[in-house]
Structure 1
Amino acid sequence: MATLTYTRIEDIPKIHATAREAFASGRTKSIAFRKAQIAQVGYLLKDNEQRIKDALKSDLGRPYLETELLDFAAVYGEVRMVYDKIDQWVKPQRIDFHFNWFPMGPKLVAEPKGVILNIAPFNVPVFLLLSPLVSAIAAGNGAVLKPSEQTPAFSQLIAELLPKYLDRELYAVINGGVAETTKMLELPWDHILYTGNGRIGRIIAAAAAKHLTPTTLELGGQNPVVVDPKMDVHLTAKRLLWGRFSNAGQICLAPEYVLVPAHFQDTLIEEMKKVYNTFYPDGPENSDSFARVVTTAHTQRIKKRLDETKGKIVLGGATDVEKRYIAPTVVRDVPVDDSLLTEEIFGPVLPIVPVKDVDEAISIIRSKDYPLAVYVFSNDPKFEEKVFSNTKSGAAVTNETVITAGVPGLPVGGIGPSGYGYYTGKHCFEQFTHWRVSLKNPGWVDKVAFGFRYPPYKPDYKKYVKGITSSLPPRPGTQSGTAKRWAFWLLFALVGAGSVVLTRSRGQLKA
């Protein structure tokens, strides 16, 4: 395991102060500067792909292809999209036209918040550090990155690379554990983004509240899968196992448990066995296509829950704590109160929960915290709509798993216990942006329309207040004023047309 050099605690306030001073200098106001820094994020990655892949191989035992797919592809897409869109995003936004207010030119101006703190997890560290960094730069902010101490090879590497590519004062890396993070949270940031679990998320939110710092929390959760027995079973099995076993199950959007009609459970499992053998023809332990759990402590945690399950292991099940190895595992007949369903597993174990029907599946989902995603495998729009309309989640995805995070333009974000706010793309840019209200009222407006607001107030001023006050919508159960006006004009037109026809008819009769 690589050794990680922690940032000295006494240096953390200095890094914070340097970033704030650099931001105050105003150089991030330049869109050209922002675009250059965004491009440099891309080239940091491009120039060091192999070193980063090797680091994540060391930290996570991760196959190179998974790093390219889960980390590189997503960040490259983010860099390109934000670079191309930033000129459009930063333009002042005009509000809807209103006769009373248009002379004042009301609009919203996109301004940076200041210095952003991004505390990222170990599982997809390139994506979860650099994609939000791109958004922070686009919005004109400084940023300090805190990578996970559980990926020492990568965290050491990113601390080395970042100052070689980006402005050293505005953008920095702080490495460390609990003590270093605690020190960071004592400082006033302008926005904090944290990705991780709910327990730490509450600590982050409480610390941020002391400074009234806005936060974005992405906290994962237990993402359920509802399977329609009429769905293509091979496609279902393949996409479920890929989504669960990629990165050894350490993906916040991974499918967490599968709700399947009891009569269809055997069919699904038999197809999973076939797919499993094609994924790992020589067994997963010796496969170059299967990662490892990040630490022995996490491996022991997953093993304990697997040992305590009341379900039956039908695929995998082997463990080796010292090697950080949990075989890709499928467990059938898992009851809803099982050890595997008490909290997020965050490992390569997929429980299958037999249910009577889709209504019972929905009931189980609703009994738990809102997840980051609800997955449905079905070609029946009614089946799909029934599940999604009766549940809540950050994402609602049909016939696929995990990949929504890599779709340019789609944000990642939870709801309730799975987090709040968004990261990636325009939604993240907007979170790191203060929309400053702008209005410029010329002096002549008082003479034409707004002189009545100044004392001494006169009785006839009331009519001017009413003149600028919006009317209410129609009272429920009554015909709207608009409808009445249309009805009047329609009646008028009909009467007019009738008169024309009647006049012509009389003229023809006289002829």
Structure 2
Amino acid sequence: MASNQYTKLVESQRAYFDTGEPASLAHRKKALLTLKKLIENDGAELVDAVEKDLRRLPGVTKNLELNAAKVEIDYFLENLDEWTAPHYVDKTLNTLLDTPMVVSDAKGVVLLLSPWNYPVNLVLMPLVPIIGSGNTVIIKPSELSSNTADAIERVFSKYFDKEFLAVVQGGIPETTELLKERYDHIVYTGSTPVAKIILAAAAKHITPCTLELGGKCPVIVCDDADIEVTSKRLAWGKWLNCGQTCLAPDYVITTEATKPKLVKELTKNLHEFYGSDIRNNIDYSRIINERHFDRLENLLNTTNGEILFQGGNPDRSDNFIPPVIIDSSLEDPIMADEIFGPILPIITVQDISEAIATIRSMEKPLAAYIFTRSDKNIDRLLKETSSGGVTVNDVMFHMTVDTLPFGGVGHSGFGRYRGKFGFTEFTHPKAVLKRGFFADSLTSARYPPLTPAKEKGMARITGKRIALPKTVKTYLPWLSCLIAGVVIGIVIQKYKTF
């Protein structure tokens, strides 16, 4: 698609948005129901495409990528009436006669740049709040998962008009041209270097962004953890999708006493999950392409750590990197950047204090995990470290809770979605104060000419916040508040000194 066609596409979507139709409650619900119908009727085509790109079992993709989106759609449909209604906020004595509220406005045209590792889910999950919030959207799927990108374009074009939802394909040149256009919001999931390019482009139009960037997600395994359960959950999260998950455990921090027990159990779990011939096990996925294979193989070739387990030999012709566990250190090259693959370094520390210091010495991750029976240890992780999210005694599961926000902090990104948080992300909370024409004398001191008496009168209004007592807000109906306000106004008028 030529650059002028991108301009025309954005203009057509903005013109459609300006009609008010996408922001109407009826259209939002219809769009969400259409998306759910797409998943139910054509989800199999999307699942098959993912299998071609990542060699991931269809059943896994269906559960991880499609079902979660259907649940999110249902959650939105259940709550849209409430979320789109004006939200009335607390009054003070000064606003007793007024109506202060927040009205959520749809933003406009949204650009959604999705990644290759979960190429369906990371289109669908932000897409639900984007269209549920009343916006139009242009989707640019990753060219690295080319089979899935083709399937997304075919399937979505069957259900949605381009003036509302369009899919644009291409690589770096096409994305560069897309980013020259003006949007009302940009969503990107991927790497930090690319995010900086996107932010630079967005800055030209002062466009807000939602960035989900991953990072090195740490796992603290304390001495009091149930090692059998810990290792099973850790192994599942690390080697799911061959380690190509933004929330996947990047490295483990544990003590010298716990390390051998943990490695023994992890090795046992890997044999239970993938057998003795991991390469030929259908449950084990593949690296997305040769470039990422070379990156991971280079990490294995340059590490200074001791390899504690390796489930086979890398094979570039098959994009196969086996599960690897390495006894590592913070100075090892493997600890420099997010691994995003099936290699698990283990860092040895003395205690929880050193574990927390290790996490604090790095950039803020998308998630942090801890396995422990100690509430004190949990509390220290929560209070002394910063991350996008935390799961205690498991990995990644906070992402499955639709009433929790999903997003990063610092180098792991900013902005968030899931449930109401997604609705808030893709709408503008417009402040509204509705006033009547009566009781103008209560604030007449603002009108020129300024006199000493008026200055004192304005000071009484602006110099102190007088909140309504909780008993008034809780037990008196709004009519009583109105009557009380009128009475107060009469008294002020009678005894005013200006």
TM-score relative to the length of structure 2 = 0.91
Indicate yes or no: 2:310 matched with 1:320: no
Match for residue 345 of structure 1 among 339, 343, 348: 339
What residue in structure 1 maps to residue 485 of structure 2?
none
Give the C-alpha shift of residue 159 in structure 1: 0.7
The amino acid of 2:47's aligned partner reads K
Indicate yes or no: 2:295 matched with 1:329: no
Match for residue 367 of structure 1 among 361, 364, 386: 361
Indicate yes or no: 2:193 matched with 1:199: yes
Map residues 70-219 of structure 1 onto 2, 5 A cutoff: 70-219=64-213
Give the C-alpha shift of residue 397 in structure 1: 1.4
Task: Name the SS for the 1:109 alignment partner.
Answer: strand
Indicate yes or no: 2:53 matched with 1:59: yes
Match for residue 465 of structure 1 among 445, 458, 461: 458
**5+ unaligned residues in a row in structure 2: which ranges?**
467-498
What residue in structure 2 maps to residue 439 of structure 1?
433
List structure 1 runs of 4+ shifted beyond 6 angstroms.
Answer: none
Task: Name the CA distance, whole Å, in 1 between partners of 2:312 and 2:294.
Answer: 13
What residue in structure 1 maps to residue 492 of structure 2?
none
Task: Name the CA distance, whole Å, in 2 between partners of 1:16 and 1:161.
Answer: 21
Indicate yes or no: 2:401 matched with 1:399: no
Task: Please say which structure displays the higher CA radius of gyration.
Answer: 1
Give the C-alpha shift of residue 403 in structure 1: 2.4
The amino acid of 1:319's aligned partner reads P
The CA RMSD over aligned residues, in Å, is 1.6
Greater shift, 459-468 or 33-42, is seen at 459-468
The amino acid of 1:456's aligned partner reads P
Task: Name the CA distance, whole Å, in 1 between partners of 2:464 and 2:445.
Answer: 20
What residue in structure 2 maps to residue 427 of structure 1?
421
What residue in structure 1 maps to residue 496 of structure 2?
none
Give the C-alpha shift of residue 176 in structure 1: 0.7
What residue in structure 2 maps to residue 34 of structure 1?
28
Task: Name the CA distance, whole Å, in 1 between partners of 2:284 and 2:81.
Answer: 41
Give the C-alpha shift of residue 317 in structure 1: 5.2
Give the C-alpha shift of residue 39 in structure 1: 1.2
Task: Name the SS for the 1:325 alignment partner.
Answer: coil
Match for residue 452 of structure 1 among 445, 448, 453: 445
Task: Name the CA distance, whole Å, in 1 between partners of 2:193 and 2:369.
Answer: 25
TM-score relative to the length of structure 1 = 0.89
Give the C-alpha shift of residue 379 in structure 1: 1.3
Contact in 1 for aligned 2:278/2:312 (Cα 8 Å): no
Map residues 207-286 of structure 1 onto 2, 5 A cutoff: 207-286=201-280
Task: Name the SS for the 1:226 alignment partner.
Answer: strand
Task: Name the CA distance, whole Å, in 1 between partners of 2:57 and 2:439.
Answer: 67
Task: Name the CA distance, whole Å, in 2 between partners of 1:235 and 1:130.
Answer: 32
The amino acid of 1:46's aligned partner reads E
**5+ unaligned residues in a row in structure 1: which ranges?**
1-6, 474-511
Aligned length: 466
The amino acid of 1:452's aligned partner reads A
Distance 1:459 1:217, change over 3 A: same
What residue in structure 1 maps to residue 476 of structure 2?
none
The amino acid of 1:329's aligned partner reads V
Task: Name the SS for the 1:189 alignment partner.
Answer: coil
Indicate yes or no: 2:296 matched with 1:294: no
Greater shift, 227-236 or 164-173, is seen at 164-173
Indicate yes or no: 2:37 matched with 1:43: yes
Task: Name the CA distance, whole Å, in 2 between partners of 1:247 and 1:8.
Answer: 35
Contact in 1 for aligned 2:445/2:454 (Cα 8 Å): yes
Task: Name the CA distance, whole Å, in 2 between partners of 1:359 and 1:459.
Answer: 61
Task: Name the CA distance, whole Å, in 2 between partners of 1:10 and 1:454.
Answer: 53
Give the C-alpha shift of residue 282 in structure 1: 4.1
Task: Name the CA distance, whole Å, in 1 between partners of 2:212 and 2:392.
Answer: 21
Task: Name the CA distance, whole Å, in 1 between partners of 2:133 and 2:96.
Answer: 27
Give the C-alpha shift of residue 472 in structure 1: 7.1
Task: Name the CA distance, whole Å, in 1 between partners of 2:336 and 2:363.
Answer: 11
Match for residue 406 of structure 2 among 412, 418, 421: 412
Instruction: Note the alpha carbon deviations across 1:272-313, whole angstroms, 9 max, x for none.
Output: 111111111242211111111111100110010011111122
Give the C-alpha shift of residue 103 in structure 1: 2.4
Give the C-alpha shift of residue 470 in structure 1: 4.8
Contact in 1 for aligned 2:111/2:185 (Cα 8 Å): yes
Match for residue 303 of structure 1 among 291, 297, 312: 297
Contact in 2 for aligned 1:66/1:247 (Cα 8 Å): no
Contact in 1 for aligned 2:92/2:465 (Cα 8 Å): no
The amino acid of 2:6's aligned partner reads I
Task: Name the CA distance, whole Å, in 1 between partners of 2:23 and 2:96.
Answer: 28
The amino acid of 1:222's aligned partner reads K
Greater shift, 223-232 or 316-325, is seen at 316-325
Instruction: Note the alpha carbon deviations across 1:311-340, whole angstroms, 9 max, x for none.
Output: 122222521112111112211x20111121
Contact in 2 for aligned 1:306/1:339 (Cα 8 Å): no
Contact in 1 for aligned 2:90/2:100 (Cα 8 Å): no
Give the C-alpha shift of residue 99 in structure 1: 2.4
Identity of aligned residues (%): 37
Task: Name the SS for the 1:111 alignment partner.
Answer: strand
Task: Name the CA distance, whole Å, in 2 between partners of 1:50 and 1:100.
Answer: 59
The amino acid of 1:467's aligned partner reads R
Task: Name the CA distance, whole Å, in 2 between partners of 1:227 and 1:399.
Answer: 9
What residue in structure 2 maps to residue 382 of structure 1?
376
Task: Name the CA distance, whole Å, in 2 between partners of 1:208 and 1:69.
Answer: 34
Task: Name the SS for the 1:374 alignment partner.
Answer: strand
The amino acid of 1:291's aligned partner reads S
Contact in 1 for aligned 2:23/2:133 (Cα 8 Å): no
